[in-house]
Amino acid sequence: MTSRPLFADLHAPSAPEELLALLTLRFTPGLGPRRTESLRMHFGSAHAALRTPRSSLRGVPGLDTRSLAAIGTPKAAEQAQAELKEAARLGVTLLGRGLDSYPPALDALEDAPAVLWVLGDVPDLPVVPRAIGIVGTRAASPHAVSLTRTVAADLARAGVVVVSGLARGIDTAAHGAAVEAGA
């Protein structure tokens, strides 16, 4: 395998190039959302990461020997090309992390997916500035339910979005109190 110089292209990749690179990393064995994002951030784009010599990849935090060996293999690139063709055939929109169309609310997550597949209209997913998840036991004591309701209502009145799993018990108490508090 020949090494290519770091930043071989001095221009930023086009959206289609970056999307293809993100898909290629997505189909690379051993790379999940965090490792893909680490590569993207380290080199400035997924496209640049794929064009980087293997020796330069060793400095990327979080990559192990197995994932390093898999980066740049033809199979992942072939799968990415096939996925793009299939998405076009089905009318599916692909949104790549770091590209303008990627929802900011998801981009704010540490382990957001590198690529989203969307059938239909892309919903507006604004960033939620402050949110908290409140979950707990289904068999909560009356004291625990009361405390949960108080905390959830206070947080909701302070502008914090209260998220719950809507299960019986603590989840229901948190969600109900937040709604009652006007959130």
Distance CA 85, CA 53 (A): 28
Region of residue 143 (left: phi > 0; alpha: psi -120 to 50; beta: else):
alpha
Element (H, E) at 132: strand 131-133
Per-residue pLDDT of the chain (183 residues), as tens digits, is 333 333 444 456 888 999 999 999 999 999 999 999 999 999 999 999 999 988 888 888 888 888 888 998 899 999 999 999 999 999 999 999 999 889 888 888 888 999 999 988 876 766 667 888 898 889 999 999 999 999 999 999 998 888 877 788 999 999 999 999 987
> Taking the model in full, what pTM does it have?
0.66
Per this entry, what is the length of the chain?
183
What is the predicted pLDDT for the residue at 111?
Answer: 87
